[in-house]
Amino acid sequence: MRILFDAYGGDNTPDEAIKAARLAKDQYPIELTLVGDSEAIAHRAGQLGVSLDGIDLHHAPTAITMEDEPTDVLKRLSDCSMAEGLRLLHQGEGDAFVSGGNTGALVVGATMIVKRIKGVKRAALTALIPSATGNYLLLDVGANADCRPEMLAQFAVMGSAYMEKIVGVKEPRVGIANIGTEEHKGTDLQRQALALLKDAPINFIGNAEVRDVPLGCADVVVCDGFTGNVMLKLTEGLAKMFVGELKQVLFKNLLTKMGALTLSGSLKSFKQKLDYKKSGGAPLLGLMRPVIKAHGSSDAEAFQNAIRQAVSMVENRVVETTEQAMTQLNSQLKQRAGAQEQ
């Protein structure tokens, strides 16, 4: 297995990418290709004292930044490390691609270069978010601001396959993010997606009332990319607010400071649970081969986790499972549309 890894995707690259490549190569039985300005990578590795033994370099002269337009990955910056990595993946010169770069560019690039699984309308961006009982997979979290009901149905199938194969949740409970559990709730999008998913080849539980989502009411939660991104960002913002409020409470006076001291270990683990950014990367689902979006702020450890995730997606044949489930779903949707026409 060969993992392709973008050496210039993220705030702390190439340094943290170089370190992560070393850690991953030493710990996992994989081949690894670092994509980026190979001379600069070799030079910087020397300065950092990190050996590149056994790690392959693939040269790409430019890099796409957070400020560039997503479509630049196809045109103006088609020789950037991200585009080059995606091309290698498409050509079969690697089994998965990991990048911490421009999210929009990665979605556009992966869709156009790696291409989607047959029958998949749109690739989806995911986030694995902590809940009271574990984690739930939220998708789409921003690749597609506007969605049609068929897309939500497909996200459900794609998310279910990932959650079962990679996170290890048996028969994951899949729900539609909605403002109530009743069938008539929400907009046309939720109502029509609900109808489409009734016979889908997954453990579909209907609407997931958003209030209960952080409490663990579903393992996979599907929605349009606008709603998903709102949920993701509100979760991040509230976590930050809560931790801030808590700090104010804890360091109010000497007595509470002493209390806080006895709690410091526990509070740290509380904070860490909320800081899910460290848990790895977010897979883009629906593509012909695994593509993982690592957080832009990733350090070596976070990048290494994202690489481990890519390895797991290849080992567990997520793409193949998704392909099969998607064929089943699409034939059901076709039958359904045919029955409605008659």
Strands (E) across the chain are located at 2-6, 31-36, 55-59, 96-99, 124-131, 134-139, 173-178, 203-209, 220-222, 282-285, 291-293
By C-beta, is 33 or 235 nearer to a second copy?
235
| 132 near a second copy (CB under 8 A) | yes
d(CA 163, CA 166): 6
Question: What is residue 116's DSSP assignment?
Answer: B
For 170, residues 6+ apart whose C-beta sits below 8 A from its C-beta are 164
DSSP 186-243: S-HHHHHHHHHHTT-SSEEEEEEEGGGTTTTS-SEEE--HHHHHHHHHHHHHHHHHHH
Least distance from a second copy to the Cβ atom of residue 100, Å: 18
| 1 near a second copy (CB under 8 A) | no
Residue with tokens 């209390």: 259
Kindly identify the residues of this chain, within the stretch 72-101, that bind a second copy according to CB under 8 A. Answer: none
Kindly identify the residues of this chain, within the stretch 145-164, that bind a second copy according to CB under 8 A. Answer: 145-146
Span of 70-78, 86-94, 230-238, 308-316 interacting with a second copy by CB under 8 A: 230-238
- Candidates 23, 112, 210, 288: give the one binding a second copy (CB under 8 A): 210
Least distance from a second copy to the Cβ atom of residue 271, Å: 10
| 172 near a second copy (CB under 8 A) | no
The two beta strands, 2-6 and 31-36, are parallel
Task: Tell me the β-bridge partners of 116.
Answer: 287
- Candidates 47, 75, 92, 255: give the one binding a second copy (CB under 8 A): 255
Structure tokens at 273: 């649970």
| 249 near a second copy (CB under 8 A) | yes
| 339 near a second copy (CB under 8 A) | no
| 233 near a second copy (CB under 8 A) | yes
| 67 near a second copy (CB under 8 A) | no
Question: What is residue 218's DSSP assignment?
Answer: -
The residues binding a second copy (CB under 8 A) are: 131-132, 142, 145-146, 177, 179, 186-188, 209-215, 226-227, 229-231, 233-242, 244-246, 249-250, 252, 255-256, 258-263, 266-267, 269-270, 273-274
